[in-house]
Every structure is written in C-alpha cells, then in structure tokens.
Amino acid sequence: MIVDNALYHQGKRVQLGDADDQSLGWARVPCDPGDFQWVGIHDPSPDELELIARTFDLHPLAVEDAGDSHQRPKLERYGDTLFLVLKTLWYVDEEDAVETGEINLFVGKDFVVTVRHGHGIDLAKARRDLEHRAQVLEHGPMAVLYAICDRVVDEYEKVGQELEMDVDEVEESVFSEARTNDSNRIYVLKREIAEVRRAVMPLREPMRKFAMGVDERITVETATYFRDVADHLQRVSEVIDSLDVLLSTAFDAHLARISVQQNEDMRKISAGAALIVVPTLVAGIYGMNFDHMPELHWRLGYPFALLLMAAIAGGLFTWFKKSGWL
C-alpha cells in the first residue's frame, strides 16, 4: 500500500493538484536536477513491489529482499541505488517485550523509496517533521536517509533504557530475600538482548561507511551527521553488551542464592526435626517398663515429663534461634 508519494524541490514539497490528495499515486514524476521524489510504502503486496521496482528500475534481488520481512540489516549498492535494510525496535510496556519491524530504503539520485514492514516507527510523522526542516531536506535523498536512521537509532536507545530498567529489576529481585524464579526472567531478557543485538550490530558497519563518506553524495557536513548516528549506535551496542554481561553475573548470583537457600532450608528443617525428636526420646524413656522407675510414681510425674519435654524443646528452640538455624 502506498502511504505517500511526493516531489520535493529545494527542500519543499511540491503542490500537485488539489490539496486533499497531494500524493502522486504510483506515478514517477520527471524532476529537475536537485529535486527528488519520495515514495512511502507499507506492507506491500508482491505486485506493488513489482510495480515500484519497474518504476524506479530497482534491482530484482533487492526487491526480493524488500518483500521479505526477515532480513538482517545491511547496506548494498546496486548501480547508483543504495539499498539499506533497517530493523526497527520498540518496547511494549504491557508485555515487557521488545518487538521488531523492518524498513527498507532505496536511495537513488533523485528518489527515495521506503518500504516498511510491521510497526515501530511512524514514517509519515518522520516525513512531516522533515517537511518542516527545508534546510535539511534540500540536501536531497541522503537527508531522508539520515533522518530515518537517526529516528530508528533513537528508538534503539529508548529500548536500551527500558532494558536497563528491566535488568535493574531483575538484579533487585535476585538479591532480595524473597524466593523468586529469576532464571526464567533472565532468560527472556537475554533473548531480547540477543534480538536487539541482531538489529544493532550489523548496522554499525553501514553507519561507519556513511560517516566516512564512502558515497559521493555524502558531503563532509552530511558525514558529520552520520558520525553522530554511528556514535549513538555504538553507545547502544555498548549498553547492550554490558547488560548481557551483567545478566550473566546476575544469573550466577541467582544460582548461588538457590544453593544458599537450600542450605538454610536444610538447617531450618533439621532444627525443626530436633524439636520433635528429642521430646520423643523423653517419651520413649518414660515408656520403658522397668520395675523401679521412681518418676513414674511421682504424683506430678506426668506434668513433670511434659514440662521436661517442653523445656528441652524450648531450650533447643532458643539455641537454634541464636545460632541462626531457625
């Protein structure tokens, strides 16, 4: 589905026909040097992809990749056209989970085609924002590329912050007194971190390339901006790496905690058992059938025995409490 399609002249959207529906549909508009056309597509059908490929003369292999929503991030160049695959990430609070989408960008001399799969980033909003910054847009297609990368990486940083908070929670839970089943949670977090890493890591190389200005369309000024994106990406990847290491350490601490708890339980159980078993011995003694057992004939022999048991149990209880076994 085509979401929007417009022509930009000197950083400004060119008004076409009536104001209600400004988009060009599937058409390619011949444009003056310096102008460019930006087509936004969402979850395209194979036919739509085919159409757009023919319109902008896109390479079939790139188009095939753009139709598949399980690509890894990458940058490729087919003739004059750059093809960039980006993973979008966002954090779903309700589920404490990271979800992923995909944006494919075809960046030619005088056009940009953005193909979005799933949600994650509001490209329409990104376009509107850009349309208000003519001084950026007038740098042409590479400015669109930069704006989208910047926005995607900003989302990565937000996801990184959410994961940092999740790891903090896990940490607290691991070192709390409560018996918590943290291994499940740590596993899920590790899985999500792996997913974020799969989005972030392969993108570093393309951003570095843009930052070093590998393309003749990247001016020194533009490269500076891409360097900023590359730097943020680097920061995210370092955060992710250190979270991963922290989780491993937290898991080890969790394992140690389980062992310690088992030990404490065992000691509590043993102390509890002693409280029962020792009085049982006393009862056994007074259940012996000797002819001459003076206590048996005491008037208060029975209460004495019960008190003896209680006293022993009480003494043990105090002792165990003091030595930390109960």
Q: Which of residues 108-167 bind its own copies (CB under 8 A)?
A: none
Provide, rounded to whole angstroms, the least separation between the CB of residue 17 and its own copies: 37
DSSP state of 299: T
Residues of this chain, 266-295, that bind its own copies according to CB under 8 A: 266-267, 269-270, 272-274, 276-281, 283-295
Cβ atoms of residues 174 and 254 within 8 Å: yes
Instruction: Select 51 or 306, whichever has its Cβ closest to its own copies.
Output: 306
Among 15, 45, 263, 318, interactor with its own copies by CB under 8 A: 263
Give the Cα-Cα-Cα angle 278, 279, 285 (nearest 5 degrees): 95
Cβ atoms of residues 141 and 111 within 8 Å: yes
| 149 CA to centre of own chain | 18
Alpha helices in the chain (DSSP H): 46-56, 60-67, 123-131, 134-137, 141-175, 182-211, 220-286, 294-297, 301-322
Q: Is residue 249 a contact residue for its own copies (CB under 8 A)?
A: yes
Instruction: Select 22 or 180, whichever has its Cβ closest to its own copies.
Output: 180
Among 265, 307, 314, 321, interactor with its own copies by CB under 8 A: 265
Give the Cα-Cα-Cα angle 26, 30, 33 (nearest 5 degrees): 135
Instruction: Select 92 or 285, whichever has its Cβ closest to its own copies.
Output: 285
Q: Choose one: 5-13, 103-111, 118-126, 190-198; the region binding its own copies (CB under 8 A).
A: 190-198
d(CA 107, CA 101): 20
d(CA 144, CA 243): 32
Instruction: Select 28 or 190, whichever has its Cβ closest to its own copies.
Output: 190
Instruction: Select 59 or 217, whichever has its Cβ closest to its own copies.
Output: 59
Residues of this chain, 10-69, that bind its own copies according to CB under 8 A: 59, 61, 65
Determine the size of the site formed for its own copies (CB under 8 A).
82
Instruction: Select 55 or 71, whichever has its Cβ closest to its own copies.
Output: 71
d(CA 114, CA 254): 45
Provide, rounded to whole angstroms, the least separation between the CB of residue 320 and its own copies: 11
